[in-house]
Amino acid sequence: MRMDDAVTAWLDELARVRRLSPATVRAYRSDLADLSAGITADVALAEVTLEDLRAWLWDATRRGDARSTIARRTAAVRGFFAWATEAGHIPTDPGVRLVAPKRGRTLPAVATAEALEGVLERMASAAASGDPLALRDHAILELLYGAGIRVSELCGLDVDDLDLDRATARVLGKGAKERVVPFGSPAVRAVQAYLVRGRPTLAARSAEGGLGAARAVFLGARGARLGPRAVHAVVTRELGEALGRDAVGAHALRHSAATHLLDGGADLRTVQELLGHASLGTTQIYTHVSSERLVASYRQAHPRA
């Protein structure tokens, strides 16, 4: 079986059966395309060896790729060759002894509650002008921070997913797992103002949006469903100054929401459920952020620190 055909079949199974996110499937596709170009141009799939895979990963290391990238590449090739072996396309699995590097555990970027309050107040003032994009952008940041949802979950929201009376949203997370998340009254007000005064103007700008755009909560300037890239651009523009950084991902709002919940006394299991983490270990990184703040406060305030 040709490498390209096998990769296509495996990725299709990941998307349809295991229901991995489109972003993960795209990343795996890119990794395996690089592998195919690097070591299997003239080699049959069954002839790929463990040494070939190690050499490919070593090339990525020498290029300076991040540990997380190399770990993902390792997961991609191990998963692919394990599947190819089980499906009978190759006699032995060359990736079974492939070891991924340990991921460096970096603490997420977190804004202070005060800094976010300033950003959101400024955006509320801009939205008061009635500009549809200002209304939309204010609602986006209020909802990302207020509910702690992922950007992909926000972009996938339909109008019917919102219950403003109960201040909840139904979102579709990783692995197509649905959950209901609460958010506060500031987000309710911002979203309500956008739906009444901003969204109809954006929806009227495009006759090509189709049914998907007609249902979507957040629309672009031309009336189509807003995509993740546009959301990241909005957050980077509005939040960069608050964090004192030139490049800030939209995930910083999710990180901030989780950290502030723990700082406010929420238990770890509750935060895990709100964020939609499959593993408690993923949520635990935010306890390190809170611990760092505790240590910093101690060192600043205690006379014997």
Write down all domains in the chain, each with its CATH number in brackets: 3-86 (1.10.150), 113-299 (1.10.443.10)
Give the relative orientation of helices 113-127 and 132-147 as an angle to the nearest 10 degrees: 150
Identify the active-site residue in 138, 254, 255, 260: 254
Active site residue 177: no
Instruction: Check residue 145 and give its pLDDT.
Output: 92
pLDDT of residue 37: 80
Q: Could you report the per-residue pLDDT of 162-203, keeping only the tens digit for each? A: 999 999 999 988 777 889 989 999 999 999 999 999 999 999
Is 150 catalytic? The answer is: yes
- Stretch among 65-69, 94-98, 224-228 having the lowest mean pLDDT: 65-69
Confidence at 266, pLDDT banded by 50, 70, 90: confident
Give the rounded distance of the alpha carbon of 185 from its chain centre.
24
138 annotated active-site: no
Task: Report phi then psi at 292, rounded to 5.
Answer: -60, -40
Q: What is the pLDDT of residue 6?
A: 86
169: three-class secondary structure by DSSP? strand
Using the predicted structure, report yes or no on whether residue 138 has a pLDDT greater than 60. Answer: yes
Q: What mean pLDDT do residues 2-17 have?
A: 86
pTM for the model stands at: 0.66
Integer Cα distance of 196 and 205 in angstroms: 16
Catalytic annotation on 28? no
- Helix-strand-coil split of the chain, %, nearest 5: 65, 5, 30
CA distance 302 to 203: 56
Mean predicted lDDT score pLDDT of the chain = 83
Stretch 127-135: mean pLDDT: 96
Catalytic residue (one of 73, 78, 150, 255): 150
Catalytic residue among 67, 122, 170, 174: 174
Active-site choice (251, 288, 293, 302): 251
Sheet of strand 162-163: strand arrangement: 162-163, 168-172, 178-182
* Polymer length of the chain: 305
CA 224 remoteness from chain centre: 21
